[in-house]
């Protein structure tokens, strides 16, 4: 599984950067936001509520000017709050294909965009989570937003967990296997220089 994850990540980066013409615009900036997360369990034994966490870090973006297609990659510290004392912290690396929609008259003031791509989150505080939490959380993000005055991006995305975030076998009379996949809404703002 580790080899497959690495191959997917390298392939996405290679395709993205190979397809970028020389006139593409590269920008860097800072990004911060909130995560509203929920674990989807496979059994009705547990009922999880939405919890709010935060995220922040660095972002890089490239865009092909005329057609508005490009991508972005971020390195974010992400804190998720779950039930009880469980609060996993991750280094999250979302990689998005992005399309900025051209509206000629208002492009310099406001420009909507759509984004989608994988997200690779790596657990950095094993001591704050119960046994059964996996070291990585892979998700597919789908998002939208607006760019204001060519520098400030405000967006929302929904991440659908692709792997099991929690997996534990409970022995005893029931013999229940529990696993959960994350579902995360992220609302963020980024300032690009």
Successive 10-residue mean pLDDT values, the chain, 193 residues: 64 54 80 83 48 92 91 94 77 96 90 97 84 87 96 96 77 60 92 96
- Residue 41 has a pLDDT of 54
**Cα–Cα distance measured from residue 75 to residue 19, given in angstroms and rounded to the nearest whole number:** 22
The whole-number pLDDT of residue 44 equals 44
Q: What is the reported pLDDT for 9?
A: 62
Give pLDDT, residue 140: 97
Query: How many other CB atoms sit within 10 Å of the CB of residue 160?
Result: 14
Model confidence, pTM: 0.79
**175 class by beta-carbon count within 10 Å (0-12 exposed, 13-18 middle, 19+ buried):** exposed
């Amino acid at each position: 599984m580790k080899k497959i994850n690495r191959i997917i990540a390298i392939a996405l980066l290679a395709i993205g950067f190979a397809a970028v013409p020389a006139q593409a615009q590269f920008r860097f900036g800072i990004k911060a936001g909130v995560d509203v997360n929920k674990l989807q369990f496979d059994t009705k034994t547990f009922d999880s509520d939405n919890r709010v966490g935060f995220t922040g870090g660095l972002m890089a973006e490239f865009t092909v000017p005329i057609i508005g297609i490009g991508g972005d990659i971020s390195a974010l510290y992400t804190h998720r709050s779950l039930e009880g004392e469980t609060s996993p912290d991750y280094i999250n690396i979302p990689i998005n294909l992005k399309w900025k929609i051209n509206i000629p008259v208002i492009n310099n003031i406001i420009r909507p965009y759509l984004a989608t791509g994988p997200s690779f989150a790596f657990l950095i505080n094993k001591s704050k989570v119960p046994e059964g939490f996996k070291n990585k959380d892979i998700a597919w993000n789908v998002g939208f937003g607006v760019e204001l005055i060519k520098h400030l991006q405000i967006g929302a995305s929904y991440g659908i967990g692709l792997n099991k975030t929690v997996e534990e076998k409970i022995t005893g009379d029931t013999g229940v296997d529990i696993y959960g996949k994350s579902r995360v809404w992220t609302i963020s703002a980024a300032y690009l220089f």
